[in-house]
Structure formats: C-alpha cells, structure tokens
Structure 1
Amino acid sequence: MLKPFTLIIKISTLCMVMFFSELTYAQENSHTQEELEITPFVDGTLLQPADAKKNILAIIIGDYGPTDRNGNQNFQKNNNLKKLAYSFANMGISSFRYDKRIVKQIKKGRINARLSFDDYVKDAKDVINYFVNQANYTNIYVVGHGQGSLVGMLAINEHVTGFVSLAGSAKPIDAVILEQIEQTAPGLKTDAERVFNVLRTGKTTANYPQALSNIFSLDTQDFIANWMQYQPTEIISNLNLPILIVNGTKDLQVSMHEAELLHQAATNSNLVSIQNMNHVLFIIEGGDLENSKSYNESFRPLAPKLISALQDFIK
C-alpha cells in the first residue's frame, strides 16, 4: 500500500503530465497544417501558426537515410523534426518539412536503385523555388539537420535569407566513414580506402569486405560516390548570407570540432555549442547507452538552448 506522501507525489506528477499534455494539444491545435505535394518526388507538411506576425518560413531538411518529415525512420522514432516545426510555430514562424524522396518510393513499393545524392539536392531546390514562386514569404530560412546541412548548403539560392546547420558535418562523407571505421574496425580501413579510390574514378567494385556491405553494397556505391565529391567547408565558404551553426557536446556522429571547422570556413556565421545535446537534438545527462536509446524515444523534448538560439537568429 502506498504511503500518503508517496500517493500525493504520484497524483501531483500525474496532474502535471496531464496539464502539459493538454497544453501541447492546445498549442498544436492553434496552428494550421497543410499537406503539399511539391513535385512527384516530394510530399511534406506546411505548418502555419494562427498568430503569425511575420512572413517567415523555415524549410526543414532531414538527415541521412529514409528519414520522413517528422525525423523518423523504421527503427528510429523520435519526432525531432516535427518538434522543431512546432517550436517554430510557437515562435510565430511557419515551416515546411518533407519526406526524403526514398520514403515516398518505399511507401509506393517502387524504389529507384539509381537514386543519387544530387536528387536530394534537387528536391531541396524544388522546395525552395516552390515557396519563392508562391510569394507568400518575404524571409525564407533553410534549416538542415545532419546530411540535410550539406543538402541545404547546395540548394541555397539568392532568395534565401539565412541558413541553419544542425549537427552538420564539415568533412566529405568518405573521410567521415574512414574515421568511423578506424574507431570501430581499424583492420578494415585499408580495404575501405581502396574502395573509395575506385569510386573516385567513376567505377564500382564488388571487391569489398563483407563486413562493410552496409556501406559498399553495389546498390549504394553510386550514391556514396556522388556524395563524397562535396566538401562542406568549401561550399559553406561560398555562401553569402547569415549562417547559424549548432552542435551538441554529446553528438556521437558529429563532433564540436567539425562545427568549429564550418564556422571557421564561413564568412558570416554564429556558432552555438549546446552542452549535453546529442545528434537528434535531445539533452543527454547520462552516457552512451542513454544517448543511443534516445534516438527512439519520442517523449524527449528538444534542447531548450537550441530553441532560443533559433529564435535569436531568425528574429
């Protein structure tokens, strides 16, 4: 049987959970959302606050893999991009977030094995141009998370007001993969370097270690070869607009050093380091186990300092 004091605490906690649940529900229902098909490849959600005071739009671009508009994949459901969109709405800022084109292909059961990295860049350009042509927004911001940071850099045109890189890498993808292999399976690094050298020639190869098949399968080699030609620090150095670079100190995929490299390369950027924020934009108080589990924990809120940094930058 519960002691009276313990029962009071449990009831109070339940009331708080119900209060914040109702508050979140009310906030979500105070905004309007519209499902849009930008092209045959791109479906997304336009979220507009009911009390929008400025004609500002944030275009949110997701991370690597079959990432949907909410930031989720099959075995990774944290809703971080959906939370980001609602955070913008609570600031009075509209947002558009969209499924990576591979998500739509999976849903329709028609996957294109010839998908390239440049296809993702084209999709981002199409989204930007769609809203430019609509002429409803005087200020358009591109917000790229992870791989979406590089995609966003490549898609930006003269109509974009500002760019936000969230946990974006400063290194080409082959360098990133080689670093990860060196840390986890150093004996395979020489073979990986050999495969990358083949890909640089525009060819593919079936001669790769089976242990690296998730990286170098014949279905993915063209995509990797296309992706690895881009050097993020070179690209960001050519952007002539305000830039916000945000990274967390507990990001297991992109280090603060990479954020600093992007900041050094950019001509007009602010760098924000968020203590204990991880790659999916959550605060992690514990170790790597908590960090990894959080990728599939949708109850977690976004890091508060991230929200304030975005608000300060855009306003």
Structure 2
Amino acid sequence: MSLRSCLLVPARRAAFAVSCTAALASSSLGAGCGAGEDGAPLPGGSSALPGDAGPPPDAPACPAAASAEIEVENARGALAGTLEVPAGCGPFPAVVIIPGSGPNDRDGNSAADGSGSSAYRLLAEGLRDRGIASIRYDKAGIGGSVSAAPREEQEMRFEMGAEDAGLWVKELRGDARFATVTVAGHSEGALLGMLAARGTEIDGYVSIAGAGRPIGAILREQLASLPDEDRERAYEIIGQLEAGELVEEVPQTPLFMGLFRPSVQPYIISWMKYDPAAEIEAMKAPLLIVQGTTDIQVKLEDAELLADARPDAELVVIEGMSHMLKEATLADASQQAAYTDPTLPVVERLFEALEGFIPAE
C-alpha cells in the first residue's frame, strides 16, 4: 500500500509491500462516570436519576473526547499507539485497528515524511465521534515502535504482527472504560486479526479489504503480466518459498530484490502458511466483512471467499470505496487521490457498517 498492502496490483507495489515489517501497538486510559438506565450518560454528565437529590456540587463531570499516547511492551521493545476515547462516561465499545503492510505509521501515512491518506486517523476519529473508542498504532519497526522489531530483517516473522495486535486487545480488555473489544484488520491486517483472535478474547471481528486467498496465489496473480522469463522465474521462487525452502539465487533487479531478497524470505515463508478462508472459518467471534467495489488491490472475489467460509458472517459491499477507504473511481487520478489526499473523508457507509456491527456490551 503506501498503505499499499501486500495485495498490490502492479508488481512493483507488491515488491514494496512484502519487504515491510509487520507489528502492532497498545492502549489504555481512565474510568467511567454515571449513566442512565440505557447506559447513556445523563444530561450534564450526571449519574442522578429523576427524583434523586442530584450529585454533590464537586462531583466530576463526564470527560470530553480525548486522545492519549500509550505504549505496550512486546518481547523486544515498546509499541506506541494513539487511543481515541469518546466524550461521555462510558463504558464504550472499543476497536483495535490493525494496519496493512508497508512502512506506514499509525495514521496510515509514510513513516518517512508523513505524507499519505491519513486513512487510519480519519477512521479512528470518525468512530470516536460516534461513541466508539479505538487504538491505532505504529507497527514494530515504524515510528514510535522502532524498538519493538527484531534487530535483523531475517528474524521477522508474520506471527509477530498478530502477537503485537493481541497485546493491544489485552490492553483494552483490561481497561474498565471499555465494555467490548472488536478487532478491525485492514488488508494484510485482516489476516493478522484472525491470528490474533486465536489467543485473545474478542467480541467481534471485522475484515476490511482483506484477502480471501493465500499470499502465494495473490503474488502469482499480480506478477502474471511480467515478461515470460521473469514470470516463470518469479513463479519458481514462489513455489520454493511455499514449500518452506529458502532461495539463494535471486535475480539482482529492483523487482526481484524488493520481493524476494534473501533477508525477507523467512518472513514470506511464515506468511505463506496461512489461508485466510481457513482461518476465518475457525474463528468463533461474530464477523463483518467489508469490501469496496473500486479497490484496485483486493477483489470482491476475496470478500466472497471469506463470506463463503463463514456463512453466518455479514458481508457489506460498499459501492465506490477504494482500498484506502475513500471514495474513488477506477481512473488513475481518482485512485491516486485516495492514496495521497488526507482531506478526502473515509466513506460514510463504512462508518454505518461498523457502527451497526460493533457490539456495545
């Protein structure tokens, strides 16, 4: 992605994405105040019911909406994230936003210069304004989470990203201000969320633009337009990696070294073990699958494969939503704007789908 997930359309995008590290971040904040019989804060933030004498004059009001910088620790170092908490006394439903691949920060922008779509920040802020808390974070090796990544690229494994996501789930689960915890994974993060759910208790799971096929199949599809010789060599390498074999001789071109350089091969091998359709079938939490019709990286077919694996899942197809969760046509200029313009809003239909699915209690 540039937020371009490893599900990239042009081969050069896939090369960029596969080399990126994966990891996630953490969360925590304060406590609740009074609420009415339906759980909603009473006017003025009071916990008093009709006929009561009312709160003492010095009773604290329910807090305003707030953002907090928080950290959790994995086995290597600190993961840094931003927790968004809605106005009111709670308890609130909460979401862990698991990012896709690429060297992007917690907001969905380039870790190098801050440019990008700000898709994750806009998503988190929109949820907050609708009464839903969230944590978004820098993946291990990115931004404030640099110390949380292995020191050498060849030590990186796909499962590490799922473990990091699980740390954030546990952080939210331990905070009394949050009534439920839902995992929402975007692109590559959708599969990481499935793996994270194996070892942590979640109240719901959302796949947003998540693949329905193993990464090996997707890479073959993305590289199908290469010249014959390059395509055949790429397919040979993919086959060896799927068999768990390291490939010593890799063509010294930007494409091949970006995708298949020796130091990234252990990570790719660890990723290739997983079939998203099989993983989602094994999940026990309620499921929402969301896919946009103008996503140039992930096909509607992928969402349908996930839905077929779990017939009880809710499938929401959003007309005109791009991979970056923003409205776009299939024209190059429109897609480019979706990836790079932070002033473009996240599509309203996505918020509607999430708000209707995320359990409040």
User: Which band: TM-score by shorter chain?
Assistant: 0.7 to 0.9
Q: 1:128 pairs with 145, 169, 190, which one?
A: 169
Q: Is the 8 A contact 1:121 1:152 kept in 2?
A: yes
Deviation at 1:160, TM superposition (A): 0.5
2: distance between equivalents of 1:309 and 1:48? Answer: 20
Deviation at 1:53, TM superposition (A): 4.2
Deviation at 1:213, TM superposition (A): 1.6
Q: Does 1:141 align with 2:175?
A: no
Deviation at 1:189, TM superposition (A): 2.6
Partner of 2:157: 116
Deviation at 1:202, TM superposition (A): 3.2
Partner of 2:107: 70
> Which one-letter code corresponds to 1:124 in the other structure?
A
Give the TM-score taking structure 1 as reference length.
0.84
Q: 2:126 pairs with 70, 73, 87, which one?
A: 87
Q: Report which stretch shifted further, 108-117 or 305-314.
A: 108-117
Deviation at 1:289, TM superposition (A): 3.1
Partner of 2:220: 178
Deviation at 1:52, TM superposition (A): 5.4
Deviation at 1:67, TM superposition (A): 2.3
Secondary structure of the residue aligned to 1:215 is helix
> Which one-letter code corresponds to 2:135 in the other structure?
F
| Distance 1:290-1:136 versus aligned 2 partners, 3 A rule | same
Partner of 1:59: 96
Deviation at 1:267, TM superposition (A): 4.3
Q: 1:31 pairs with 62, 65, 71, which one?
A: 65
Deviation at 1:304, TM superposition (A): 1.1
Q: Is the 8 A contact 2:91 2:177 kept in 1?
A: no
2: distance between equivalents of 1:244 and 1:110? Answer: 33
Instruction: State how many pairs are aligned.
Output: 287
Secondary structure of the residue aligned to 1:179 is helix
Deviation at 1:199, TM superposition (A): 1.9
> Which one-letter code corresponds to 1:152 in the other structure?
G
Partner of 1:8: none
Note the 1:235-314 alignment, pairs <5 A.
235-285=279-329, 287-314=331-358
Q: Is the 8 A contact 2:90 2:177 kept in 1?
A: no
Secondary structure of the residue aligned to 1:150 is helix
Q: Report which stretch shifted further, 109-118 or 230-239.
A: 109-118
Unaligned runs of 5+ in 1: 1-28
RMSD of aligned alpha carbons: 2.2
Partner of 2:256: 212
2: distance between equivalents of 1:48 and 1:281? Answer: 22
Q: Is the 8 A contact 1:143 1:166 kept in 2?
A: yes
2: distance between equivalents of 1:186 and 1:91? Answer: 51
Secondary structure of the residue aligned to 2:85 is strand
> Which one-letter code corresponds to 1:37 in the other structure?
E
Deviation at 1:222, TM superposition (A): 0.9
Partner of 2:140: 101
Give the TM-score taking structure 2 as reference length.
0.74
Deviation at 1:200, TM superposition (A): 3.3
Percent of aligned positions that are identical? 30
Deviations 1:7-50 (A, max 9, x none): xxxxxxxxxxxxxxxxxxxxxx9521111111124110111011
Secondary structure of the residue aligned to 2:262 is coil
Unaligned runs of 5+ in 2: 1-62
| Distance 1:249-1:222 versus aligned 2 partners, 3 A rule | same
> Which one-letter code corresponds to 1:165 in the other structure?
S
Secondary structure of the residue aligned to 1:69 is coil
Q: Does 1:200 align with 2:242?
A: yes
Q: Is the 8 A contact 2:225 2:231 kept in 1?
A: no
2: distance between equivalents of 1:218 and 1:41? Answer: 27
Deviations 1:262-284 (A, max 9, x none): 11112431111111111000101
- Between Structure 1 and Structure 2, the one with more helix by share is 1
| Distance 1:174-1:286 versus aligned 2 partners, 3 A rule | closer
| Distance 1:285-1:104 versus aligned 2 partners, 3 A rule | closer
